[in-house]
Structure formats: structure tokens, C-alpha cells
Structure 1
């Protein structure tokens, strides 16, 4: 079947608080395989006067495709912001084309509750699975398992076109133990969860009729001793990984990337043009 006839699908996976230099040194197998079929960019978040290295700031920027000067999410608190003027990339895709089936899975409060600037995933995320990580003894270490199980099942059996899955255990590990063995072990567990999602996608009955673009990123890095919010290179050191599952189409990847480029890259693959009233400062990483 010609690639033009394949149904476009996008999966974006967020790993909270994962530093690019540490990830590259480990190069776990699942994310490494995706990079081998695509590209791996090192990215640096802007300095704190533009984009504080806070969780809600990083994910608001990635999801919307605009910098904080536009969406005005500047911390994890619930102060004044304009995120409703720059909706998440799944909602914007759905509004542009209501036939696009969207799915989100997470357990961080900002995605599924009114905590801080949340919920960051809007009404266009038509299937939403959210676990309250506060209700689990080990927080993300427990809730990530459920998020991954839900994603594995839905990606393998349901017909979602644009999906976002968030995993937070790495951030907790860095806060609790710093950037070291425990942090690297958490990265390994998240990579295995990613591998399960990939295997589920590749086992789909319709996989041969689909073109799956998978992208991964993070919201910020961490100090060696754990913690973020400042402007050090360790806290600003992030990444974008993108690649295709199965036979990749003939594309040329952009030489450089920023986290605001994920949204327009997803839209380009899906063939949607979001309403111009909602701004986007990023550009697609795909050149066909």
C-alpha cells in the first residue's frame, strides 16, 4: 500500500524531568529504537525569564506550541494565565477535524484536575484516563503502572489517531534521590512501559494500514542533587525524539528542534490545519 493511503497516527509520550545527557548515556532500547528510525535532538529550554523550569510551564509550552509569553503559565500555581487561548494540541486537532479520535492518559494533577493551571488537556481529548497520583502510596511509581496499562490496552485495540501519554516516576526519583542510580532505574522502567506501548501498536490488526509517528520529550531537567525551577544548564537540558514505527516514509528531519515544535509536527503528520485564531510559534520537524 502506498504511504499516501495509510491512516496517519501520532503518539506523544512525556517523561517528566528527564535530562538529555543522562538519557543519551543510558540510551535505553525503546527510545533508542525510535530515534534510530527518526531523529534525536538535544534541546535547551529558554532561561527562566522566559520559561521557568517548572512542570506546568514545560507541559503547557509543549502541548500548546507557544512560549510562556503567550500562554502565561509561569509556575505550578493557579495564578492568572491564558492557556484557554492556546489550547492543547489534541483539542486543536479535534476542533480542526472532529473525525480525529483523541486520547490522553496521565496521573499528574495538572492534566486531569483544576490543580494549578489545570486541566491542561481540554475538551477535545475525547477519551481521557486520569489517575490521581495522590491516592497511591508511592505516587507516580504506582500510578504510572496504571497509566501504562491503560495506554497499552487502548493503543493496541482502539482506534485513536492522536494520543498523549504522560509518565512521572522519573521526576519523583530525581526529587527523592538526585540524578543517580535510582533516577536511571526509573528511566529504565519508563522505557519498558514505552516498549509495551510500541508492541501493542505493532500488534494491531490494522497496523499495516497505518503510519505511526511517535514523539517523546520532557518538561525540564534536574540538578545533580535533584530539583528544578532555576536556570542552570542541568535544569534546562531537554530533548525531543521522533520516529516512525514500521516502514518510515521518505522524510527529511529538521536540523534543530524546540519543544514547541512537537504540536505542529503532529498536526503536519495528521494533515490538519488548526484554526489560525489559536497561535503556534513552533514549526514542523517533518519535511516530506
Structure 2
């Protein structure tokens, strides 16, 4: 009888990718995830502004802004202290579990107001694109994150990883949708490929069961920008593959993602309003 495989989860966040633009881009690595599972549009919850920090906080905690209190990108409100991110929940439920969190948008993992948006903290790229507003720095920061995360995924014990790339959002703010935006999306897909290759190269890969989630937080207007209620801004998307993830039984939300992440380990999220994907 074959040995039971150990559970591992990779969550990849790619900021600001319109669903229609994603479908126009060449994304072979995301296509592999979708082919093994699914790709579906998801709507930003009505409680969440179509802004990065509120939505990534929902991805982290399983609740929306009416509970976690994050309404803009200006800092970490005290209300968020009541909700641990999914890595912290896993490590509390299973002491000794190893988590990797890495991001090119520093507020996710470094102090922002009262602390990072991910309560566990994590690794930030040496290059800070917010400090310069430079598209070149955004590309450099994503490259640093991909290299760091891939190195750790390839060689170290990692049960759960969250890796964030931000270049599509930076580019769309700069020039809107179009050729440069499509290239930015394709660059993020290449970074995803680095992570998937690193997972495939793990020494004990044959004894590991990996679930992969790839998600964006919001869309954009054609000229660049978000924060409103247009369909283009409120339509996000999620791709996922792994044991039992053949397709959603209902319309999913960002708050469902950490609940499903933890369910992969057989752990319940104690405070989330989101649900596992097959709950109807």
C-alpha cells in the first residue's frame, strides 16, 4: 500500500489583473493550474473597496472589510488584530508547521500602521516599488521575490506558502491596459512558473500532495486605476488545482480562499466567514 502523501499548499497572489486581459495574455503556467483544476471569475465582495489592502486582507483572514476594517492602503487598523492570517492559524493548530510568506508589496509583510497586513509577517523584496513608483523597480522586486521563494520551495521544508507579485498593477496604473499590461501579466505567469518548477524539483516531491491557488485582488479601468464599482474593477479571478479541487460548486469569494487553504490540512478556520469551496 503506497504511503500517504504529506499536504502542502502554495498560494500565489498577482495584483490587479483584469479577467478579460488575463484571457488575452499568454499564460502557460496558469493554464496548467487551470487545466488540472479550474479557473473562475470571482467578484470583489460588496463590503470591500476594489483596493489591494482590503482584498488581500480578506484572502489572508477569511473575513471582509466590514469585519477586518481595512478600507484603504494607508495602514493596518486595530480591527485586523482580531483575525489571524491562514499561516498563523495553521501554525497554532499544528505547531511545527513551516510557512513561507514573501511579497514585493511591503505592507503585506512589513509594518504598516500597527503592523503588516499578514499577521505572520514575512519576507519583503529588497527593492520597494512604492518608494520609487518605478515600473522597473516593480519588475525587479517581483524577480527578487520569485528567486527567494523558489530557492526556499526547492530545498526547504515548506508546508504552506503565500507569494505575491505586483507588477501588473503597477504597470496598469502607469499606462492602462494594452501591450505593456499584457507583458506584465505574462511576466507574472513566468514568475508563477518559477515557483511551480521549484515545487516539481523538491527532493521528496513524489511523497507530497500540493494544492495551488492563484488569485488576483481586483481589476482595473482601461486607462488604469481602481477603487470604484465598475464590472471591470469588481471582477477578479481564481485558479486552483489539487486533491478534490475539480471545480467550484458555487460562486466563490476571496474570503473562501483561506478557509479552503486550511481545509487542505484538515484545519478549520475559527473566525472566518468564508466557506470551503464545495459548501453550497
TM surpasses 0.5: yes
Q: Report the RMSD for the aligned CA atoms in angstroms.
A: 1.9
Offset from partner CA, 1:98-138 (integer Å, 9 cap, x none): 12111111121212322356401223x6xx32125146763
Shift, 1:81, TM fit: 3.9
CA distance in 2, matches of 1:179, 1:7: 41
Q: Residue 255 of structure 2 aligns to a residue in which SS?
A: helix
Offset from partner CA, 1:165-202 (integer Å, 9 cap, x none): 00000100100010111010001011011111111111
- Is the Cα–Cα contact under 8 Å of residues 12 and 165 in structure 1 kept in the other structure? yes
State the partner residue of 1:25. 24
- The TM-score, its normalising length taken from structure 1, stands at 0.89
Partner residue of 1:95 out of 92, 102, 110: 92
Partner residue of 2:275 out of 259, 262, 283: 283
Instruction: Note the residue ranges of structure 1 that are not aligned, 5 or more in a row.
Output: none
Aligned residues: 274
- Is the Cα–Cα contact under 8 Å of residues 76 and 117 in structure 2 kept in the other structure? no
Instruction: Note the residue ranges of structure 2 that are not aligned, 5 or more in a row.
Output: none
- Paired residues for 1:1-288 under 5 Å: 2=2, 5-26=4-25, 28-47=27-46, 50-78=47-75, 80-116=77-113, 118-123=115-120, 128-131=122-125, 132-134=127-129, 138-244=136-242, 249-250=243-244, 252-255=246-249, 256-274=251-269, 276=270, 279-285=271-277
- Is the Cα–Cα contact under 8 Å of residues 76 and 116 in structure 1 kept in the other structure? no
CA distance in 2, matches of 1:234, 1:218: 13
Task: Please list every run of at least 4 consecutive aligned residues from structure 1 whose deviation after the TM superposition is greater than 4 angstroms.
Answer: 134-137
Q: Pick which of 106-115 and 132-141 moved more.
A: 132-141
